[in-house]
Chains A and B, each alone.
Chain A
Amino acid sequence: MISAHGLARTFSTKTGPVAAVKGVDFEVAEGEIVGLLGPNGAGKTTTLRMLTTLLTPTSGTATVAGADLITQSREVRRRIGYVAQIGATPAPGTILGEELVTQARLQGMSKVEASARLVEMLPRLDLSGFEKRALSEMSGGQRRRFDIALGLMHNPKLVFLDEPTTGLDPQSRANLWDHIRALRDEHSVTIVLTTHYLEEADVLADRLLVMDGGAIVADDTPDALKARVCPATSSASASTATWRSPRPSPAKRCSRAPASSKAVDWCSPSNAATPPFLHCCAPSMPQGCRSARCRSTGRRSTTCS
């Protein structure tokens, strides 16, 4: 579905050029849910914007949904769906049904086709009865489902979701996860999403591309990654992928993870809501740390003050 080679983007800023993405290579197979995981500023959104034709790569090439990203960008746009990060509250005059039809028509559907598609999409995303509602009056979760419907109006086989659940309450998030999974399971849509929630990456993705500092630092399944980061507690075999920087020592780990450390604590509940400065489950307990059992895996993890 996607094949990217040396995709890079440098932004020119007042303080000189900043390499947001430094030449990434990866593949996404049909029917996969792939998560781009990493802290803010890791280059996830820039990668996504390049793959969706919103940002021209400084260098590198990619094939997206069978079309060349650079020379056939219009064809790429025809074939993909894109759901942006949650935006500002829509203008008061924006009506849900109208907006979805507008989107479908810009995708090239006729008025009749677009209206028929609207009727089909509303119940699929639990938006029945919202057709004439103003978007500005809807809740965050409802608006997010509308955003997803926008990206699906033209029935794309590949959908990009940029931080689909950021800013939502736990219930709305779980609900959205169900919708995203149903996309793949029931409608065989390939999905690429970005997230900085470890929990979300773990629950949704078949495969994770861990990004940091504009590079992909790991490419593996969530289980294999967990096994690698916490070898003592897992029976899964180590993978061949390697981390860019060495794992921090146990002492360092407990002195409030520095911004450059790259170990994942998959269990820590606090990491569910903060960027994953990947930090490891400590085998022995240093001073100032306490141990807690991870609900989802049953494994113990350490949090430090």
Chain B
Amino acid sequence: MLTETWVVFARQMKQQLRNPVWVFFGLTQPILYLVLFGPLLKNISGGGFNGKNSWNVFVPGLLLQLAIFGAGFAGFGIIQELREGVVDRQRVTPAHRSSLILGRTLTNVVTIGVQAVLLTLVALPFGTRPALVGSIIAIVVIAVLSLGMAAASYTMGLILKDEDSFAPMVQGVSLPLLLLSGVLLPMAAAPGWLRHISQANPLSYVIDAVRSLFVGDLSSTTVVKGAVIGLAVTVLLGWWATRRFQRDSA
């Protein structure tokens, strides 16, 4: 199963790296957020949230956003692969269904991991002060979460089979998830009703954990809770995706 996963991963990774447009936008997008949106936030918040450095609040949010959008749109690729016949030709091999899906999602995890590291590094000169170990763990949490989200996105792609319905679907799911998790602005600023809704969003706990980790708080319950919830989401989505991949494409 490891070999099969690796074979699928290597194939997808090569294809992605051969697409220069993809490499360019994949790497510049997070930086655009930093340069074009970050300064606004800094001025609005007067330099900090509850006495915290605004960059230390904003950058972890961007990391989670990378995972949500990067992994959320992963399914676009499989719709094209479905049309090319790649999915079917891999499904008629004895390879494990979980390898076919895991090999693909790992490509997204690596991509998001690289983007996250790059984003954190570029954020340094703006005034971000991440804790070394904490931010590394934060990126691992983000990577684990994107594994499950990418798997779910591939599965949605397989179900919908068409970009025209897939794009609004992903937007429709990921945008509320994003807004309700307090990725862009902390939910502490939200009115009561909005905060209650956001508490039903598992990603709210993940972002809290990532923010805590980012500034070096490694042991609080916030971190444990967020990491466990992130892992649970991934396990659940991964299980669903594999089941769906096993079933026929009808």
Interface residues in chain A, defined as those with a beta carbon under 8 Å from any beta carbon in chain B: 11, 49, 52-56, 74-75, 77-78, 80, 82, 84-85, 87-94, 98-99, 102-103, 105-108, 147, 150-151
Contacts and interface: CB of A to CB of B under 8 A. Distances in A.
B8 interface: yes
B14 A93 contact: yes
Given A92-B18, A93-B19, A106 B88 contact: no
Given A91-B19, A105-B3, A108-B93, 10 more contacts: A87-B83, A87-B84, A88-B84, A91-B15, A91-B84, A93-B16, A93-B19, A98-B11, A103-B90, A151-B89
Contacts of A74: 94
Pick the 3 closest A-B CB pairs, nearest first: A93-B18, A87-B85, A88-B83
A11 to B, nearest CB: 6
Contacts of A55: 248-250
Contacts of A75: 94
Contact of B93 (A77, A88, A94, A98): A77
B80 interface: yes
B89 A150 contact: yes
A107 B94 contact: yes
Contacts of A105: 3-4, 7
A52 B80 CA distance: 22
Nearest to A10: B250
B247 interface: yes
Contacts of A151: 89
Contacts of B85: 84-85, 87-88, 147
Nearest to B84: A87
Contact of B94 (A49, A82, A108): A108
A75 B92 CA distance: 10
Contacts of B10: 102
Most buried by A among B16, B92, B93, B247: B92
B248 to A, nearest CB: 4
Contacts of B88: 54, 82, 84
A105 B15 CA distance: 17
Given A54-B249, A56-B247, A106 B4 contact: yes
B124 interface: no
B123 to A, nearest CB: 31
A56 B84 contact: no
B91 interface: yes
A77 B8 CA distance: 17
